[in-house]
Structure formats: structure tokens, C-alpha cells
């Protein structure tokens, strides 16, 4: 189940690049 993950990505016309994947249990606000 991927609902516990936050995925940051960059999308262009002909690509999608995964920039970072973080688990939801981490202190996301402190990391950003």
C-alpha cells in the first residue's frame, strides 16, 4: 500500500523523474 508515502516528482513533456520518496511517518514538515 503506497498511501503512506509522499512522492516528489518532476514531469516534462516526455518524461517523469522521481525526485524524492518520503515515508509519511517521518517529520515531513521539519524536512521541508
Domain ranges in the chain are: 1-27
Residue 31 CA, chain-centre distance (Å), reads: 12
- Is pLDDT of 4 > 90? no
Region 18-30 average pLDDT: 79
Q: What is the pLDDT of residue 12?
A: 98
Model confidence at 10, in pLDDT bands (50, 70, 90)? very high
Model confidence at 16, in pLDDT bands (50, 70, 90)? very high
C-beta atoms surrounding 6 within 10 Å: 14
Region 5-28 average pLDDT: 88
CA atoms in the 13 A half-sphere facing the CB of 22:
14
- Is pLDDT of 1 > 80? no
DSSP string, 1-32: --TTEEEEEEE-SS-EEEEEEEETTS-HHHH-
Amino acid at each position: 500500500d503506497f498511501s503512506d508515502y509522499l512522492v516528489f516528482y518532476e514531469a516534462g513533456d516526455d518524461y517523469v523523474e522521481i525526485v524524492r520518496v518520503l515515508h509519511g511517518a517521518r517529520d515531513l514538515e521539519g524536512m521541508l
